[in-house]
Amino acid sequence: MVCLTNFSTTKGTLALSLPHAILGLLTYKPMSGYDVKTFFEKSIEHFWPAQLSQIYRELGTLEKRGCVNSHVEPQEGRPDKKVYNITEEGREELLHWLHESPKSLLAYARDETCLRMFFGSRVEPGEMIFQLKLLIREKQKTLQILGDIYESVKHAGYPTEELYWQLTIRKGLLIAAAEVQWAHECIAELEDIRRPRHE
Amino acid sequence: MVCLTNFSTTKGTLALSLPHAILGLLTYKPMSGYDVKTFFEKSIEHFWPAQLSQIYRELGTLEKRGCVNSHVEPQEGRPDKKVYNITEEGREELLHWLHESPKSLLAYARDETCLRMFFGSRVEPGEMIFQLKLLIREKQKTLQILGDIYESVKHAGYPTEELYWQLTIRKGLLIAAAEVQWAHECIAELEDIRRPRHE
DNA sequence: GAATTCATGTAACTTGTTACATGATTTA
DNA sequence: TAAATCATGTAACAAGTTACATGAATTC
């Protein structure tokens, strides 16, 4: 079996999620790089962002490794499409990855908001409160967007995936809600230590 | 002012959190690369992991840009230390970054757990349940570790930072708790669709 | 006697981001 | 007429990871 996770390093501790995300999409139907990006934008991008240029590069790598193959589809009035198809090797590789014990369980997530709060004493409490209020507004937008996607999944025409996609979105909703709650708690604490300027 | 965020790109949309994390630490006291890593391990690493080799590289870059300077301290029975100190330019750069509107508010976080759940239909419900139970165990460890750190902050000898550090940890606790809750919900849903093998 | 701690880094590589190039068609 | 959509990518760079090299002192 072609094993992406063992290709480049001897220990194989790399996450290598992007190629597997692409392989996963190609199990639904053959797609061009542009199609993959379009699909990403309404789903996977919310928990695994990827630039179009990165998708093209990964598709090239996957093809070299025999996980996908491609053919060019001429189109009228539009640029030709290079359509990628998953191979048997690609399917095996995807399953292998899905059955692995996820490394992400132990990995720490990078969180710039935490980093800013950690050094929060270096700026005025008012500045932190301002940024926390921005955070609340953005996370409420996220809650709205994910809520909409949650509903739209029911009519997306992928009945087998429906439950799994909804559970995925549910994680995003719970975390965004936790972040809003945290921000409110922080604001309350910081208001306490803030000295009012006019009194 | 030396502006790290405008050094390399014209748009300056990069997060560039690691150099600022290091600058932040150096406002507490002068440190060697090894000291920085040690400090990271009990705090920042939980929300911004960094390899020792990456820290050495960043310190070198920061020195070239005038944000830190260094001197070698000879030691007996131990290797010499190269101790870094933050400069006035470095302090300005840190404050500039702290006052910026954080880009991370709009950025999506990468979450491998979501990616696996998204493609969950490709494996047996039992496999997903197994992985979710692993997740619960790991996140409960995280809750324990962060809870301990939360308590230890009170006696760490950084009274000015105490509140901010605790608020930072609180975010980790709330998110880990949300993840545990999510995993329990998922298991309940997946148990429903799992066909019992012997009945 | 083996592993860990202390302490420095370099080199090679992978992964992610941004900018650039091209060009027709459609929509505002 | 300006912008967005469709469609391909390359090049350059930034950021993160892993492996390697060195070596004394301490702890298990």
CB distance from B125 to chain A under 8 Å?
Answer: no
pLDDT score for B197: 54
Q: What is the DSSP letter of A31?
A: B
| Tokens linked to B168 | 């930072």
Nearest to A192 by CA among A125, A120, A102: A125
pLDDT digits (tens, 9 = 90+) for A56-74: 999 999 999 999 999 999 8
CB distance from A164 to chain B under 8 Å?
Answer: yes
Which residues of chain B are within 8 Å of residue A187 when distances are taken between CB atoms? none
d(CA A116, CA B60): 23
Nearest to B174 by CA among B155, B147, B156: B147
**pLDDT class of A78 with cuts at 50, 70, 90:** confident
DSSP collapsed to 3 states, B20-48? HHHHHHHCCCCECHHHHHHHHHCCHHHCC
What value does the mean pLDDT take over residues B69-96? 92
d(CA B153, CA B156): 5
Q: Cβ–Cβ of B163/A107 closer than 8 Å?
A: no
For chain A positions 38-77, those within 8 Å of chain B (CB to CB) are 43-49
How many angstroms away from the CA of A188 is the closest CA of chain B? Answer: 11
- Tell me whether residue A11 is exposed, middle or buried, using C-beta atoms within 10 angstroms of its C-beta: 0 to 12, 13 to 18, 19 or more: exposed
d(CA B161, CA B29): 14
For B171, nearest residue in chain A (alpha carbons): A182
Q: Cβ–Cβ of A118/B165 closer than 8 Å?
A: yes
CB of B9 closer than 8 Å to CB of B96: no
Which residues of chain B are within 8 Å of residue A40 when distances are taken between CB atoms? none
The pTM for the full model equals 0.90
pLDDT score for A44: 96
pLDDT score for A4: 46
Other C-beta atoms closer than 10 Å to the C-beta of B140 total 14
d(CA A131, CA A120): 11
CB of B104 closer than 8 Å to CB of B15: yes
Which residues of chain A are within 8 Å of residue B119 when distances are taken between CB atoms? 20-21, 24, 27, 94, 98, 164
CB of A188 closer than 8 Å to CB of A62: no
Residues close to nucleic acid strand C (C-beta < 7 A)? A 7-9, 14-18, 49-51, 53-54, 57, 77-79; B 9-11, 13-14, 32-35, 38, 52-53, 56-57, 59-60, 75, 78-83, 110
CB of B122 closer than 8 Å to CB of A158: no
Q: What percent of chain A has pLDDT over 90?
A: 79
Which residues of chain B are within 8 Å of residue A186 when distances are taken between CB atoms? 167, 170
Q: Which of A66-70, A103-107, B10-14 has the highest mean pLDDT?
A: A66-70
**pLDDT class of A41 with cuts at 50, 70, 90:** very high
pLDDT digits (tens, 9 = 90+) for A10-36: 223 335 899 999 999 999 999 999 999
CB contact burial A38-70 (16+ within 10 A = b; e otherwise)? ebbeebbebbbebeeeebbebbebbbebebbeb
How many angstroms away from the CA of A187 is the closest CA of chain B? Answer: 10
Q: Cβ–Cβ of A127/B164 closer than 8 Å?
A: no
Strand partners, A73: A81
- Tell me whether residue A132 is exposed, middle or buried, using C-beta atoms within 10 angstroms of its C-beta: 0 to 12, 13 to 18, 19 or more: buried
What value does the mean pLDDT take over residues B172-188? 98
Judged by average pLDDT, the poorest of A54-63, A117-126, B75-84, B179-188 is: B75-84
What value does the mean pLDDT take over residues A156-167? 95
CB of residue B78 closer than 7 A to nucleic acid strand D? yes
The β-bridge relationship of strands A68-73 and B68-73 is: unpaired
